[in-house]
Amino acid sequence: MAVKAGELHHRVTIQSYVKGGRDEDGYELPSEWIFYKKAYAKITPLSTKDLLSAQAADSEITARMKVRYSTGLDIDTTMRVVWKGRFFAIDSQGLDDGDSGLEYTTFTLSGGIEQFKD
pLDDT in tens, 75-100: 889 999 999 888 999 988 888 876 77
Residues 6 or more apart whose CB falls under 8 angstroms from that of 64 comprise: 43, 44, 46, 106, 107, 108, 109
Domains and CATH numbers, the chain: 5-20+29-111 (2.40.10.270)
Whole-angstrom distance, CA of residue 84 vs CA of residue 87: 9
Which residues, in sequence order, are CB contacts of 16 under 8 Å at separation 6+? Answer: 33, 34, 36, 78, 79
pLDDT digits (tens, 9 = 90+) for 53-72: 655 555 677 888 998 887 66
Total-model pTM: 0.75
